[in-house]
Structure 1
């Protein structure tokens, strides 16, 4: 599947807007970023939470750089066949990475069907 960066980012924004308010309202000092690929250039990683989970924040306050939820465009396009599948995968990636912000690990996400 092919899609330019601007169109992909629009889909990410639309899926982010569709998430429940109670999931989004608790996000403090978090930015959402779209990048083409992970630093290693692989297509294996769809997203990444880069920051400290709420459960690990003992010192956090003024002057801290924001945590980041990164969604990788090219890996998503490599695993999806059409736009509907792409929307679903972006949605799952956002939920998965936001869950890491709340301190939910990959094992629990697998149990819940979000990994």
Structure 2
């Protein structure tokens, strides 16, 4: 029996489930973000944020956090959450003790935290990763 690793579509589905499971006041706003799921972060993106090893980056938020937005902002691209399949799977395998859906939820919520300007206490109410 051959077992294939989870696909890009599977990671996206898990992330969309994590977003839809948020409290309604966050889920509505979170659904306005673009969700990009890729094998790895593009080289130019890694260079821009100063990361040399692509396996180090499981997710990223790009955009202007809600706590910093102004009506004068002229965005050139929509706010987005990026998830990187291979680094997520690498972490999942290395941990060996966490469900893939929990890991994808953790990465997704962490990136949403950047968008919403959430504090650690806010994140703890939604994502009890360390318990």
The structure-2 alpha-carbon separation of the partners of 1:52 and 1:87, relative to structure 1 and needing over 3 Å to count, comes to same
The structure-2 alpha-carbon separation of the partners of 1:112 and 1:15, relative to structure 1 and needing over 3 Å to count, comes to closer
**Mapping for residues 14-93 of structure 1, pairs under 5 Å:** 14-27=17-30, 29-39=32-42, 40=46, 42-58=54-70, 59-60=72-73, 65-81=77-93, 85-93=99-107
TM, length-normalised to structure 1? 0.75
Higher relative contact order (CA 8 A, sep 6+): 1
In 2: Cα distance, 1:73 partner to 1:10 partner:
12
The structure-2 alpha-carbon separation of the partners of 1:110 and 1:34, relative to structure 1 and needing over 3 Å to count, comes to farther
User: CA RMSD, aligned part only?
Assistant: 3.0
Deviates most, 43-52 or 13-22: 13-22
Q: Secondary structure at the match of 2:82?
A: strand
In 1: Cα distance, 2:10 partner to 2:61 partner:
22
Structure 1: tracts of 5 or more residues without a match = none
| Deviation of the 1:112 alpha carbon | 5.4
Q: Secondary structure at the match of 1:53?
A: coil
In 2: Cα distance, 1:79 partner to 1:86 partner:
10
